[in-house]
Amino acid sequence: MLINPQVSSLTKSATLKITSLTKQIKKQGKDVVNFAAGEPDFDTPDFIKNAAKEAIDRGFTKYTPSSGDNDLKKAIAGKLKKQNNIPVESENIIVTAGAKYAIFISLLALASWEDEILIPLPYWVSYPEMVKLTSGKAKFIELPEENNFKLTPELLQKSITAKTKALIFNYPSNPTGTTYSKKELLAISEVIKDAKISVISDEIYEALVYDKKKHTSLACLNSMQDYTITVGGFSKSFSMTGWRVGYLAANNNFIKEVSKIVGHTTSCPCSISQAAAMAALGEKEWQGQISARFEKRRNLLFKGLDKISKIRPLKPDGTFYMFSDIRETGLNSFDFCSRLLEEELVSCIPASSFGKEGFIRISFSASSEQIKKGIDRIDKFVKQL
């Protein structure tokens, strides 16, 4: 079969290689510490599961409108208005099969022939691959290490050309865990408005910010609703990765166009998962508890890694990832991760997957016991190099 070159050019990431190696080793009955996880380590809460069971029993098992169930869209718009100060109504929302699909359809709708899509680097693995499936071209903005891998208005300005269509902006960031203050976002938003480009603001980790910092949405800043597609979801905040529910919020015209893509591809997100997401939004306590739990784990991991010579962890403001500098070990990130896994049974993600060498991503979506065990093993591994 002759495959479309756009598809054959997609790369299978190093993340997957490490994940499959981890599975193989686990199958042999070995005790692997999993610092590679991209999802919360605890189960979806019972109140969400019960709402899904109840949805099945009442027959909520048919197609919903392609942009999502009306009550859920209303609830998402209500959440965005109240918590994020984004002035939206349910007409501005599309519920999608995960935030990933929200990003992909937004890119499809934006990028026409040779349009440049700006992607800050290190990036989340799927952004460049998604752009490859559109008519656009990815253009990377190397983020300055000395500024904790944060985008600056100057860097953004320098990267914009007449062909620039959009920026993909993710904060708190996977993989670096950095986030932005309102002041920093305001400065970036001025460049976006001046250049009249669009921005896909991937705020999937918004509920996981630490040190009493507050997440500010780009779209709540002056006039930014006209330029911003806000992407959010339930995977990380409610431990619902397998349910596949996310959403995007944007202006009416964009929503009308993107709804057509949904209507002809997935039809709509799973009705039962939408009922579960509705229950998740009704719960006030859960998010505070989950972020407090992750903050404790972040502190434990940072304290332990910081003591290991040749490893320099970057303390994240949010997410459950600790980006760590391993350059002093002399190993590249893939060799470091595969040897650490084979020799000491600790699984981490090489930053080469995120377009950056010399770093690894250590996930603290693991129990305190596992974190302590993992730190001891990394220490032993580094000492014997």
The residues binding ligand PLP (CB under 6 A) are: 38, 98-100, 124, 170, 174, 202, 204, 233, 235, 241, 246
Q: Which is nearer to ligand PLP, 271 or 363 (CB)?
A: 363
Sheet-wide strand order for 312-313: 312-313, 321-325, 359-363, 349-350
Q: Which is nearer to ligand PLP, 198 or 329 (CB)?
A: 198
Q: Which is nearer to ligand PLP, 37 or 331 (CB)?
A: 37
* Cα 53 to chain centroid, rounded: 28
Question: How many angstroms separate the CA atoms of 169 and 179, rounded?
Answer: 11
User: CB of 36: closest distance to ligand PLP in angstroms?
Assistant: 12
User: CB of 149: closest distance to ligand PLP in angstroms?
Assistant: 14
User: CB of 170: closest distance to ligand PLP in angstroms?
Assistant: 5
Decide: 96 and 234 in contact? Cβ < 8 Å: no
Q: Which is nearer to ligand PLP, 88 or 97 (CB)?
A: 97
Residue type, 322: M
User: CB of 96: closest distance to ligand PLP in angstroms?
Assistant: 8
Using alpha carbons, select from 113, 337, 77, 333 the residue that is nearest to residue 225. 77
User: CB of 164: closest distance to ligand PLP in angstroms?
Assistant: 21
Question: How many angstroms separate the CA atoms of 30 and 42, rounded?
Answer: 21
Residue nearest to ligand PLP (CB): 98
Helical H runs in the chain? 5-8, 14-27, 46-57, 70-84, 99-110, 126-132, 153-159, 182-195, 252-264, 271-281, 285-306, 333-344, 368-383
Decide: 240 and 277 in contact? Cβ < 8 Å: yes
User: CB of 100: closest distance to ligand PLP in angstroms?
Assistant: 3
Q: Which is nearer to ligand PLP, 204 or 270 (CB)?
A: 204
Q: Which is nearer to ligand PLP, 101 or 254 (CB)?
A: 101
User: CB of 380: closest distance to ligand PLP in angstroms?
Assistant: 30
Q: Which is nearer to ligand PLP, 32 or 349 (CB)?
A: 349
All residues at 6 or more sequence positions from 352 whose CB lies less than 8 Å from its CB, including other chains: 14, 332, 333, 334
Residue type, 382: V
Q: Which is nearer to ligand PLP, 201 or 329 (CB)?
A: 201
User: CB of 140: closest distance to ligand PLP in angstroms?
Assistant: 16
Total Cβ atoms within 10 A of residue 121: 15
Question: How many angstroms separate the CA atoms of 9 and 296, rounded?
Answer: 41
Q: Which is nearer to ligand PLP, 170 or 324 (CB)?
A: 170
* Cα 219 to chain centroid, rounded: 18
User: CB of 235: closest distance to ligand PLP in angstroms?
Assistant: 3
**In a 10 Å sphere around its CB, with 0-12 CB exposed, 13-18 middle and 19+ buried, how is residue 326 labelled?**
buried
Q: Which is nearer to ligand PLP, 174 or 338 (CB)?
A: 174
* Segment (H or E) for 349: strand 349-350
User: CB of 173: closest distance to ligand PLP in angstroms?
Assistant: 7
Question: How many angstroms separate the CA atoms of 284 and 181, rounded?
Answer: 24
Q: Is residue 229 left, alpha or beta, with left meaning phi > 0 and alpha meaning psi from -120 to 50?
A: beta
3-state secondary structure of 47: helix
